Homo-oligomer: A and B are copies of this chain.
Amino acid sequence: MYFASDNSSGVPAEVLEALSRANRGFSMPYGADDLMEGVRTSLREIFEAPEASVYLVATGTAANALALACYCPPWAAVYCHRTAHVEEDECNAPEFYTGGAKLVPVDGPDGRMEPERLEAALDAAAPGGVHNTQKGMLTITNTTEAGTVYSPGEVARLAGIARGHGLPVHMDGARFANALVSAGCTPAEMTWKAGVDVLSFGGTKNGLMGVEAVILFDPRKAWEFELRRKRGGHLFSKHRYLSAQMAAYLADDLWLDLAGRANAAAARLSQGIAALEGGELRHPTQANMVFAAFPRAAHLRAREAGAAYYLWPFGQSLDGPAETPLSARLVCSWATTREDIDRFLGLLRG
């Protein structure tokens, strides 16, 4: 009953096997390995983007920060949702990699930026000339940090506003596969066809050990990205071990299969909680995360039995009346089992 984070699961057997296979003999370092050639080809096909540049790094923070740094100058602003990972969970990595850009939060319910607020933020940034932070770029998180999913149309609306101000668009897709499976669209529809210039294509949360792709749909930034990656210490000498994982992830739609499992688990969990007496969803469950409230007593029973998850937001007390609802974040992964979910729901029910 481990719902603390999708980054606490392991990797599927295919990934371990791919590492074993990749381990044979000598291999060209730094991304010149044969496996990377295949990864590049696969991602270009999957995204219907034959010109795209594709790179691998090992952490989502690196993917995001490097992508932002390629598009946002130090004197400009990155517009993001207030709860975005780049704003809340990266210890100023975007500021570091951009050389001091400013992240400007844009609000909206359920982890989604409201187009009107983005428009307002951009209009507010307009008049000041050299004294003010310049408008830099937009970053959209999909799956959002609230477990919701932007549809391609919603992405296109936000990206269109940014582009109307001349700004490029990044998508933080640490949970891109979960969003895609949820939205039921193609990768191209979710990204470049909707106006996205650069994508952090997550693998780690969805079954890899620590591999993320960065896909630059416009390859003119490719060389700059390579220099920034190296200068950030994110270029792997034994790159084949990243390539092998990503190749296994893409083969036979494993990535979509894993995300489908995680999303299905979350749906089951979400429905179970919603059906509880005193159970209530805090955000719609659209991908692999459930945000829900249920009575304190239910929390205590679950925790006593070893369930792991975060109260969300932090700071709610486990001491107090038994019926008071406390909110939690419950994250499913490809490895979450039906048994665990049902056992957990049973505990909640008491």
Task: Tell me the A residues contacting B by CB distance below 8 Å.
Answer: 2, 4-5, 7-11, 16, 19-20, 22-30, 57-66, 73-76, 88-93, 95-103, 127-128, 130-134, 204-205, 209-210, 226-228, 230-238, 241-242, 308, 314-315, 335
Contact = CB atoms under 8 A, between A and B. Distances in A.
Given A99-B96, A227-B130, A29 B58 contact: no
State the oligomeric state as a number of copies: 4
Contact of A96 (B16, B210, B231, B235): B231
Contact of A235 (B27, B61, B92, B133): B61
A234 B61 CA distance: 8
A93 B26 CA distance: 27
Contact of A91 (B90, B209, B231): B231
Given A8-B26, A8-B29, A74 B204 contact: no
22 contacts: A8-B28, A8-B238, A10-B27, A62-B234, A63-B233, A64-B233, A75-B92, A75-B228, A75-B230, A76-B92, A89-B128, A90-B230, A91-B131, A93-B231, A95-B95, A96-B232, A100-B231, A127-B315, A128-B314, A130-B226, A130-B227, A234-B234
Given A91-B130, A96-B100, 14 more contacts: A5-B29, A7-B238, A9-B26, A10-B24, A16-B20, A60-B237, A74-B231, A75-B231, A76-B92, A89-B131, A96-B99, A204-B238, A210-B241, A232-B232
B315 A230 contact: no
